Structure 1
Amino acid sequence: MQNTEEVRSALSDRIQALSESQTIAMAKKARELAAQGFDVINLSFGEPDFQTPQYIKDAAKKAIDDGFTFYTPVPGYPELRQEIVNKFKRDNNLDYKPENIVVSTGAKQSIANAVMCLVNPGDEVIIFSPYWVSYEEIVKLAEGISVPLMGSLENDFKVTAAQLEQAITSNTKLVMYSSPSNPTGAVWDEEELRAIAKVLEKHPQVYVIADEIYEYINFEGKHFSLACVDSIKDRVVTVNGFSKGYAMTGWRVGYMAAHKEIASACDKLQSQITSGTSSISQKAAVAALQGGKASSLEMTEAYRRRRNLVLDMMNDIEGFKTYLPTGAFYIFPDVSAYFGKSHEGKTIENSEDLSMFLLADAHVAAVGGEAFGASQCIRFSFAASDEKLTEAFRRIKSSLAKLQ
């Protein structure tokens, strides 16, 4: 029988180079601590704490009763793709056809499909930073070269058009960003994105993945899609889904809109990996889009209230540098004031150390900023009840006071 080291050495270089998702890893640690009997408040996971709206659940039950239990078309049911086309026209003023739409098992798969279909080994991929933890790892799988481009806290972590202009080289193939952003909650407005589009107009070899999964969780104004700029529309892959806006994380339905050739390539890739998304989930997604945005707007108002609550509590904690998140349900304070401080012989060297200290001492789970490309920060999710958030930051303040 082979031992563990022998089996590990047999694994591919590809998988050994890949990092585990730090958000999932921290959530796992929090569950393990909770299983030991500790009262852990988990602010590490990007998951709405709301139930999926009842009308969506009812559509899923009906789909089962109506016999939708067979394989689905790889790019999605025609009905769902048409509803997504309607959504883009209604919400984003974007004109697509069903042939431009590919439905996948979550927006993460949509992003991976697009990266794998666009990036060759050695291609440079500019990633607006701080970034969602999986972007860099997906680029790594495609054998591309990630080029993080850091936005400043003073600009709410938003990368500017001038920064992008300086970062593009002859090897740049792709730009990736999310708006509203995970982990910062930043939202690029129309003026900012049009300035970015002006830069991209000069570089026809550069494509863009615009991750809009948090589109409906926007506290300040109207969402603007980069693909609305006609001059670059054919080079923009717009990714969205149902997990955040409709509280459908477990249903695993995401989608992309792209030029027909890109969509066809992603269809081909997906046909060899997962084939079509769950039939029941797709029927639920049709109902979600047909039902409008009322439930999404109710959830967004709750997130706005929680954001304000968390900001008030954070601003009462010495050493946290904050800003105003204008979307999503995260805040990403600079916590570097605590680096170098100690408690019971343990020195805090970085945000990973601080997040582990908070888990062990305050029993509050958050994610260190290294995973998001910003080692001076920690990501806290405020997708939790007011009571849990209040208790979490009471504990955090008490624990941080122990660091000297």
Structure 2
Amino acid sequence: MASALFLPFSAHATEDTLDYGLYWFDGNNKSVKAVEADGTVNTVPLKFYDPSKPTIVHFHGWQPGSATRGDGYDREDFRFVWGDEDVITSRSWKDKGWNIAYFYWDQFADESEVKDAEAKMWSANGPRGMRYRLSDGSYSTQHSPDKSVGEIAFEQLTAALADNTSHYVRLSGHSLGNQLATIVAGKISDAIYAGDAGVNVMVDRLELLDPFYSKDGKDYLGDDNGDGNPDWTGERVRWTVQELIDRHNTPVTAYYSSNINDLWIGDKNLPLRAKVAEIWNRFWYLADEVNKHNHVVPFYFRSMASAPPEEVTINWWGNRSGTGNDAASASTDDNRILEMMGDTHYWDQVEGRYTADPEDDQFEIKNY
């Protein structure tokens, strides 16, 4: 992966504009901004956010080329289109009484080098600072914040959810975004322990969707464990996940769908897998690893519409039989996720591998 180039403004540069932050969605894939850059919490219709309902917030990952794609500033959302299927994956969540949101940091995440985007989640003083990309391909710092994306996301979520009475918050993060979801969960936990946030904003479940971590220590992280070497991002995530488990008994799942961490730049973070519920999705109807990596997001959000998948075993004769337990999905009970966590088993998809609808999925429980 080549290093990102700084593209100076031309005489015809696009208007310098920066937008980021929390956006609430309805069941028709329409969205409204939850919090302004200055911290103002917007009053929005109940169809977008109802403080009496449980909430899930999703964090996207690396976004190379998104600012210049299409008409400019292309963003992910909850619509899934594949073949003849056209599904609004947020609808089942709304129908079941959830608030659902995206945290957008796409202009910061639009770097040609993944490690430059990764740094911005952790520090405002990484290799590229807090620069952001514009729709003409240039980069700017004119409106850059003086804090990391992780700090911004923590502040916005705790402000937007301050009046939440459901006492249930779930975070999910895809690829690089799994780090951001974990950073925010950790900061919320710390704030609750310090008395700076209410327990109503505590993260009750954390979902890591085909998580990615780059190799090697990062100078911008420092050396928190005092081993004489800069910390690395997967290490920091692992520490935070362990702390969430120790403090709050937080259910944590990791869904793996590609070989993204087998690349020379990625780290498998095997010690983390031993702490969480480890799930392997086999999207055999997709031919390439990039699509398999990205498809875990619509898979997860679509799975709320179905009952939890069946857990199965396979005997010596190759016959499958149900165990009577659920496997993991968005609709699986938190207590079941807690039962699945640890270094004893992982779950491998053995049915539903050729369909995009999670309804027909089965997962075989396997020993490490």
Give the TM-score of the pair, scaled to structure 2. 0.29
More strand by share: 2
Higher RCO, Cα 8 Å, sep 6+? 1
More helix by share: 1
Give the TM-score of the pair, scaled to structure 1. 0.27
